[in-house]
Amino acid sequence: MSKLRTVIRKVDNNHAEIVKTFRQLGYSVVSTAKLGKGFPDIICGKFGHNYLFEIKDGKLSPSKKKLSEDEEKFFREWGGSVMVVTSVDEVINFDLKRRAI
């Protein structure tokens, strides 16, 4: 009999706050945090474009915000846009830059 392996993926403490902010700014948001294997935590859409974000808790030390090996591999190999976001301020700044384009 094979053993079932349960993997519990935890989200960063600021995950809900960042998702809420993107939504308040008019983005469609899907949380993909539970996919694992380096896939970013959320996909956002607005202005006819999709954006992939890895959420890191900006209140943590730099070593705790470091991308995992799987995340680094995804960032290197992904053919589109993928970014790290650590705070509501970064979300707002990202949106302001997109509006200016």
Give the pLDDT confidence score for residue 100 in this predicted structure.
Answer: 84
Encode pLDDT of 61-88 as tens digits. Answer: 998 999 999 999 999 999 998 999 999 9
**CA proximity to 7, closest of 51, 39, 41, 37:** 37
Determine the structural domain holding residue 94 and report its residue range.
15-100
Q: Give the CATH number of the domain where residue 95 resides.
A: 3.40.1350.10
**pTM of the full structure:** 0.88
Q: Is residue 5 part of a domain?
A: no
Q: Is residue 94 part of a domain?
A: yes
> Rounded to whole angstroms, how far apart are CA atoms 46 and 81?
14
Encode pLDDT of 25-63 as tens digits. Answer: 999 999 999 999 999 999 999 989 999 999 999 999 998
Give the pLDDT confidence score for residue 69 in this predicted structure.
Answer: 96
